[in-house]
Amino acid sequence: IGQERKTCFGSLRMSSSIESIASSPRKLFTNLQSDMFSHPLDKQITRQLSNLPLVASAVRRSMSSIESAFVISNLESTILVSPTQMPRLYDSLATACKILNVKAIPELYVKQNPTPNAYTLAIAGRRPFIVIHTGLLDLLTPAEVEAVIGHELGHLKCEHGVWMTLLNLSTQVLDVLLGPIVSIPTQQLLLRWQRAAEFSCDRAALLVAQDFKVVVSVIMKLCGGSSKSSFNESLNVDTFLLQAEEL
């Protein structure tokens, strides 16, 4: 439950250009608004979802206590990143926020979990937060991790929290909240929206990385990368893109 999801990026071990991208000058989008990069379907379906009576308010009410549980869980079983705790990772977060014009830096937690994943949660008015698994940090380069952070910030920038939460609720919970007749079309609409929302956030990742090969490399590594650097060194982004053209 919540806004937990696998990041939809790829990863290829590119040459030094990927490793050095974080230190190279990048454009800051000082007036960036979410509608400037959101996928058209994301904006369209979000408007449709917003017209569903009582749905958003019902989810916010039901998630209030669950969100509090998430906060407590983060504090007791993860590491809160800060300028004095994993400062390089915090710098990546601050840089991504600055590029995307995110004024309030969300909390960032690192969770011990071998599954490469990241997710974000922001629903009931509390300070939003991002969680990154150690498996993701082991798999990706610093520039690629920053792209993932940009993706998660995209969810916050686009205010996806309520609808992502609704998508992750079980069918049984939807039936209780909305009734079985409403829940089925709502779920279908949410699934269409999820794909569009991920497109929007991939665009946010690209705005942060400002190198499309970094973002493709994340996707590739999530498909078949390894935490062993010697294995990833043989990965090839261009070949991976040729594979994608077969779809």
**Do 120 and 156 meet the contact criterion of CB atoms below 8 Å apart?**
yes
Give the single-character DSSP code of 127: P
In this structure, the number of other CB atoms found within 10 A of the CB of residue 185 comes to: 11
Structure tokens at 145: 């991790």
**Do 62 and 54 meet the contact criterion of CB atoms below 8 Å apart?**
no
**Do 145 and 25 meet the contact criterion of CB atoms below 8 Å apart?**
no
**19-44: buried (b, 16+ CB within 10 Å) or exposed (e) per residue?**
eebbeeebeeeeebebeebbbeebee
Please tell me the distance from the alpha carbon of residue 94 to that of residue 110, in angstroms, as a whole number: 16
In this structure, the number of other CB atoms found within 10 A of the CB of residue 194 comes to: 19
The verdict on whether 159 is a catalytic residue reads no
* Selected catalytic residue, list 4, 152, 198, 245: 152
Structure tokens at 136: 């993701």
Phi-psi region of 207 (alpha: psi -120 to 50; beta: other; left: phi over 0): alpha
Q: Which residues are identified as catalytic?
A: 152
